[in-house]
Each structure stands twice: as structure tokens, then as C-alpha cells.
Structure 1
Amino acid sequence: MYSIILVEDDSMQREVLKTMILSTYSSIKIYEADSESTALDIIKNNDINMFLIDISLKDSSGLDLAMKIRNMTKYEFTQLVFLTTHVDYMLQAFKQTHCYDYILKPYDKHMVQVMLNKLINKDIYDLNNENNELDKVEDKELVIKIRNGIFVRAKIKNILFIEVNGRNCEVNTFDGVYTYSNISLKKILQLINHEDIIQSHKSFAVNKNYIFKIEKLDLRLSYIYFKDYSKTALLGYKFKKNIVLEFKEVGKYYVK
């Protein structure tokens, strides 16, 4: 849910602005704070999409609060709008905090809605685009050439590992094993082009998300096991450091 924090120490002004916002965006979550300390507590414990900050708070400067917000990495570029009765401080505010706009008091409903429409719609558009890009990655497929004129599609997220077999590559997936004819491991990895599928051996590439156990075979080789899958892959010495680092991040089972 899109969320806004409204930092305003005048309860009546805060309620007026909140009502204006909700009259247009009824599903938006609005957090309220009447001081810098309350605001920082809310900000640190929630994900905020927009900050509306009174530039002249009673116990501190809204400008100081904005600077503290900008020093938080995840809020470095988040929409920030000042609430003010004067425009005198706004040049300083724009320079120091990279605020996006300001709202003059007393609040004009039309002006508030025009400004918020512009910023909120942009944010929602950007968020939807990010989600669409994630969906595209999740749905990405590898078209496997079984033999001349015969192809199958396999979702990349369903691939457990790939094994070189002569001039072919066997693609082991949750749905079955498919032999991609006349292709090298290097070429198939280029086609897949996915950060989860990584080379583990000159003849193997594995999906790092499905590794269940790594077990040492000798000084140069280890076995890679997959949960609920009987076949194993090989881990070569030159690829071991990278695979083990990736594996430990997932936090499963590693045998030295």
C-alpha cells in the first residue's frame, strides 16, 4: 500500500490536509506525527513513499528532519514535500534536501490535489514498472531444441542444473530432463542469461537457489545435492569459492 507520513505539529492543520488527501486517495495509508522524534520512529519502522513535512515544527526544524531522512540510504530519493506559510526558506530547502515541491498554508484543496496527483501517479507508475520487470524475470523461459524441428519451453526458475553430455546439454528441471542438442555450456548460459544459474564445473551449471548440500569428494571435486532430486552435479575447484559464497547466503547445508 502506498504510504505518506504527515509531519505537522498543528493538529487542526494536519487533519485538514489529511482529509484533502483521503478525499482523492482513500486507499493510501497516512501516518501522522507532531514532532521530529515521533516522525523518525515511524519512518524507521515502516516503508514510506512520500514525506509531507512542516518546515517550521515547534520542537525542531522540518529542514533538519528532512536532512536526517535524506541520510537514510533507502530514503535518499523518496518524494519529499514541505508544508510552509512562507516561500522564503524554499530555495535553501530545495538545495539542501532535494525536496520535490512545497504546499503553501492555508491549504488550497485543488492545488494540493494537483501536486499530489503528479507525484503519487509517478510513484505508482514506477512501482508498477518495477513489478512488471520482476514478473518478466520470473516468467523467463529457455526454448530447448530437442532435435531438428522439435522444441520445448522450460521456465528458467524451474531449472535445477545443466550437465554437458558430449555435444549436447541435459537440462534438469522440476518437470523433467530435456536434452538440448548441439550446444555448448557456454552458449546455453548466454541464452539463459540469469544470475541464479551459475557454472559450477566445466561440464555443469546449477541453480544456486536449489542447492541442498555440498559434499567434498577429493581435493579438486565436490558433489552438489538438490533437495528431493536423486541426481547430483559436480563442483570443480576453480568454481568452488563462488558457489560456496552464494550457497552460504541462502543458508542451507555445507559439508567441507
Structure 2
Amino acid sequence: MARILVLEDEERSREALRNMLCHISADITVNTAADLAEARLLLHGTVSFDLFLLDVNLVKEDKEDSSGLIFAEEIRSIIKYEFTPVVMITSVASLEIEAYRRIHCYQYLLKPYSEADVQAVVKKVLSHVRAEEKPYIIVKKNGINYKILCEEIVFCKAIPRGLCLYLKEEKMEVPYLSIRQLMEKLPKQEFFQCHRMFAVNKTYVKYYDLVNQMIQVEGYQEKIDIGVTYKTEIRRLLNE
């Protein structure tokens, strides 16, 4: 199931676009907005969107209008939509570079577009959306938000004023994030805490050593301590 928000002020174009999208699949739900006010109500409502199709120019009598870009920036200011695909619709090709620079739009639809054009873009976008349905977390470092797939995290370790994520291919230090806060974000069925300073992805555990109170994981030589208060939980994991 995918949900798409369409922002288009022209009624005929709006309904035509809705029909084109619905023809792609019965699993697609389309919400439409005729102006910024309606779009904002949908954006901050109870449902989540997998794709945004936004007309750049919502005030046709003003050739310099780019209120669709304003809404795109509002979308990007919401953490859960920071990486959600945005496709801009316009009759002014020169706005393309500006859109890519400011809000990192996924692609462009230049008016007049055909149903084949719309369906090709949307099918491609949704194929990526489905591929990215794996669990992930978003962490902030140096003012930049990073999207990290949970399956890429081998283990994490508390460090002064933050923690270090030990990923499959690299290490990443994240300031002002605690083990407890991270555990609240991670899938509980995949991760466990074994020490006040360590949390581990079950998938990468090579062995548990309860005698020496340590865990060895794939890809790293570093020994991960098992805290005394966590021994019972580790035994439970071993008996699953």
C-alpha cells in the first residue's frame, strides 16, 4: 500500500492526475490538495505519505510564483519526510535546477505530461520506497541527519558525551545520544543490551562467553562486555 499527496491548484489537472495514479495500482491511495492550506492540513494529519507530487506554480497569474517549492521545504523540515521522494510538476523548465538544489526533489514532470510519463516516474519511485521499507534510524551529527538501516548496525558503545555505532563498513560517532535513547529507536526483536555501555545486533553475534562475561561479533576484534545485571537476559537469549 502506498499513499501519495498531490498538490495541484487546477481542478481538471488535479483530477486527471489522481486518475492516472489510481490506474497504476489498486494499492495506491491518493490525497489531493488545491492550495497550500489544504496541503498543510494533510501534511500534519494522522496519515503518512510515501510520495509527494507538487505543482511548483500555484498562482497562475504570477509567473514568478513558486509556492510549491515553499511547501516542499516544509515537507523536508519534518524528520520523517526528510528522505521521502518529492516530484515537482511545472511548465517552467528553468525552475528545475532550483528545485533540485533547495529541496532535493526526486524528479521532474514537465507540463504537458502524459499518463505514460506519470506512471513511469511513480512506478520507479515506489519501487525504491518498497526496497527501503527495512527498519532504519535517523541520527544527527554536525547538524546533518543520517538515515541508517538497522541491519547495518553490528553493535554500539557508549563514549563520552555520546555513542559510537559500529557499522558493517565503518564506525560513526554520534554526540548527545545515549544507549537508552538508541534502544528506544531500534527493533527490540533484533537488538539487546548486554552492558550499560553496549548494545548488540543478534545477527552478528559469533558467540557468548558467560564465563569470561564477553561477546564476540563478526567483523570486529573488540570484546563486548556482559554486565552482571544483564547475565539473566543473555541466558534467556541463549535458550530461545
In structure 2, relative to structure 1, the CA distance for the partners of 1:104 and 1:181 (3 Å cut) is: closer
Q: What one-letter code is carried by the residue in structure 2 that aligns with 1:12?
A: R
Q: CA deviation at 1:130?
A: 4.0
Q: 2:132 aligns with which of 126, 133, 143?
A: 126
State how 1:4-83 maps to structure 2 within 5 Å: 4-45=4-45, 46-58=47-59, 61-83=67-89
Q: How many residues matched?
A: 165
Q: Over the residues paired in the alignment, what is the CA RMSD in angstroms?
A: 3.8
Per-residue deviation, residues 232-251 of structure 1 (Å, max 9, x unmatched)? xxxxxxxxxxxxxxxxxxxx
What residue ranges of structure 2 are gaps of 5+ in the alignment?
Answer: 60-64, 137-148, 154-187, 195-206, 219-224
Distance 1:181 1:97 in 2: 46
SS in 2 for 1:9: coil
In structure 2, relative to structure 1, the CA distance for the partners of 1:60 and 1:111 (3 Å cut) is: closer
In structure 2, relative to structure 1, the CA distance for the partners of 1:68 and 1:186 (3 Å cut) is: same
Distance 2:135 2:90 in 1: 33
State how 1:228-247 maps to structure 2 within 5 Å: none
Match of 1:94 in 2: 100
Q: What one-letter code is carried by the residue in structure 1 that aligns with 2:67?
A: S
SS in 2 for 1:86: coil
Q: What one-letter code is carried by the residue in structure 1 that aligns with 2:28?
A: I
TM-score (norm. length: structure 2): 0.58
SS in 2 for 1:83: strand
Match of 1:112 in 2: 118
Higher helix proportion (structure 1 or 2): 1
Per-residue deviation, residues 76-125 of structure 1 (Å, max 9, x unmatched)? 12100011112121111111111011112222011111111111111112
Larger Rg: 1
Match of 1:184 in 2: 211
Distance 2:208 2:112 in 1: 72
Q: Percent identity?
A: 27
Distance 1:100 1:117 in 2: 13
Match of 2:176 in 1: none
